[in-house]
């Protein structure tokens, strides 16, 4: 007469092994899918950007620039348009800011804006972007958060730098601020939103009028994000 208990034990053992194998395959598949989607890159019309393709971008917005360590903490409010491109080396994982233009009208000098005073300076101030192009990499803030960081990199000869020329008590004063910073990025129906200092998380710049201390605050005015779009009107998103 067959020993039923022993046969049942073998079947249970087989089922257990099959179950472990299935779990391993599922875990591998889940890891592969997660890695495939968390690539931290720009997409154009929902497609990855080929390394050999140079995509041109516009970044429009308004920034508050303040040196909290300088005398009377001068601050200006600048509306402008950064021109940028992905280049032909990194695909959509990085991009370069190449020029600064006014939102309307024509710049009096290359990469210069005339900005109204927010505090301390008299009349309009001149703000100039220096050491262009600035190199920016895209990083995911946290797994599943759907928020990214645009990280401005310090590179030899290309350290992100801006100069503010304002008049204080009748004297023209230039404040040169430099250093890496970052801005938060989020997908939006119109493109990608960029926000400086959303939660006091953007690094301050090091400014000459505050004796080299990192007191140069860069902030999206009123918490209103700038907008990053593809120049030709194609859909732009982050993945």
| 91/159 same-domain check | yes
Q: What is the pTM of this model?
A: 0.81
Count how many domains the chain has.
2
pLDDT one-digit tens code per residue, 80-139: 999 999 998 778 999 999 999 999 887 889 999 999 999 999 999 999 999 999 999 999
| 13/85 same-domain check | no
Q: pLDDT tier at 221 (50, 70, 90 boundaries)?
A: confident
| 33/133 same-domain check | no
| 6/118 same-domain check | no
Question: Domain range for residue 27?
Answer: 1-37
Residue 81 burial class via C-beta count within 10 angstroms: exposed 0-12, middle 13-18, buried 19 and up: middle
């Amino acid at each position: 007469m067959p020993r039923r208990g022993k046969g049942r034990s073998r079947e249970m053992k087989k089922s257990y092994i099959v179950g472990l194998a299935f779990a391993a395959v599922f875990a591998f598949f889940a890891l592969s899918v997660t890695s495939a989607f968390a690539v931290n890159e720009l997409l154009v019309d929902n497609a990855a950007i080929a390394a050999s393709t140079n995509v041109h971008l516009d970044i429009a917005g308004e920034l508050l620039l303040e040196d909290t360590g300088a005398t009377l903490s001068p601050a200006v409010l600048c509306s402008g348009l950064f021109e940028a491109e992905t280049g032909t080396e990194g695909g959509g994982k990085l991009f370069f800011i190449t020029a600064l233009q006014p939102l309307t009208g024509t710049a009096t000098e290359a990469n210069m804006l005339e900005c109204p005073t927010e505090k301390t300076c008299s009349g309009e101030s001149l703000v100039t972007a220096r050491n262009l192009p600035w190199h920016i990499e895209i990083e995911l803030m946290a797994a599943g958060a759907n928020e990214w960081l645009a990280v401005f990199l310090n590179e030899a000869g290309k350290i992100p730098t801006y100069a503010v020329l304002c008049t204080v008590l009748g004297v023209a004063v230039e404040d040169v601020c430099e250093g890496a910073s970052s801005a938060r990025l989020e997908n939006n129906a119109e493109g990608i939103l960029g926000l400086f200092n959303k939660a006091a998380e953007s690094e301050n710049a090091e400014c000459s009028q505050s004796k080299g201390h990192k007191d140069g605050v860069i902030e999206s005015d009123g918490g209103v994000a700038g907008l990053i779009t593809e120049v030709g009107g194609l859909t732009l998103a982050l993945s």
